[in-house]
A = this chain, B = another copy of it.
Amino acid sequence: MSDRSRSTIEGPMTPLPATLSVTEVLARRLGEVALLFQQSLVNDLPAVTRLTQHVERYRGKMLRPTLVITSGMAVRDGSPQSASVDHRLNALAAVVEMIHMSTLVHDDVLDEADLRRGGATVNTLRGNETAVMLGDFLISSSFHLCSSVGEPWLNTALGAMTTQLCAGEILQLSHRGNVSLDDQTYFEIIRRKTGVLAGACCGFAARLAGGSPETSEALRLYGEELGMAFQIQDDVLDLIGDEQVVGKTLGIDLRKGKLTLPVVIHLARCDGTQRSQTIEAIEQGDVGGLVACVRSTDALNAARERAMQFVSQAKSRLSRVTESPSRHMLESIADAAIERTS
């Protein structure tokens, strides 16, 4: 893999015509990133390549690569095109997508407890063992690809970021089924679990693109806050989304004992009787019952409001970035995080 990924990064890349819009440049770059992603996972063992092709099924909106490419464009807006910077941004985009995919694959690993409850989500791949190894392969490949970028600071920053991400997952697991989870701990969990990766996409891209430390930090915070808004919207959709639109079973968090923001807010607001009813709905995995409980204290709207606050905070960080079509796109991405229905 080493030689292939390196030659892809250092190889020639046709400069794009200056007349292309931000959306068109982004689309071209995402196509290149998807190719690099795929090429980097090709292995000399056919068994491995066959398995990594399953990962394609997980591919969604490519939000994280989009954040990398758009942040890079926002920082470089107006400066001359540089193929080597574009190559590095593409590689970073593939790296963060691999990290994201590995978390999705590992999230699919079922607990014995889940298996006992029966009828819970079924691993779409080939059982726990393969899911664990595929996730590990993705993590390894991402660090390998990252080191080929040739920026030693990026390796250190990536290692620190993924360590924080894992710590967030562990923190969440340690609070599984804790109906007294307070909102500060909840925010700390989602900051580490979702925020830091999105923050890294923007902050690392800004630094690769030559942004000042202040601009890079502003973009990192933009990403982190956007990521948190995104996670809260996920929480809301896990309760009241349309299964057909969301594309996954509702109430997964509930069944895994993961308290989401609407539930955390509701439990802090409700009285003793409501609390018992809510805990019963949680224990029985009764999504409909839980939604009724949560609505009674207007906690769904309160959660949505908190997400909106994160979005405005994220957008305010962009004042450090020169006004441009790419900056405008970053604003639109932030708005879309809470407007989406899937």
Interface residues of A (CB under 8 A from B): 1-2, 43, 45, 47-48, 51, 102, 106, 109-113, 123, 126-130, 132-137, 139-141, 143-148, 150, 152, 155-156, 158-160, 162-163, 165-167, 169-171, 173-174
A129, closest chain B residue (CB): B110
A174 to B143, CA, bound (A): 24
Name the B residues within 8 Å of A169 (CB-CB).
133, 136
Asked whether A166 lies within 8 Å of B109 as measured between CB atoms, the reply is: no
Given A47-B174, A167-B45, A173-B130, decide whether A106 and B160 contact each other with a Cβ distance below 8 A.
no
A110, closest chain B residue (CB): B129
Name the B residues within 8 Å of A156 (CB-CB).
2, 144, 147-148
Asked whether A137 lies within 8 Å of B163 as measured between CB atoms, the reply is: yes
A196 to B240, CA, bound (A): 48
A43 to B164, CA, bound (A): 9
A1, closest chain B residue (CB): B163
Asked whether B148 lies within 8 Å of A132 as measured between CB atoms, the reply is: no
| Interface core residue of A112, A136, A148 (most chain B CB under 10 Å) | A136
Name the B residues within 8 Å of A127 (CB-CB).
111-113, 173
A139 to B137, CA, bound (A): 11
Name the B residues within 8 Å of A159 (CB-CB).
140-141, 143-147
Asked whether A162 lies within 8 Å of B140 as measured between CB atoms, the reply is: yes
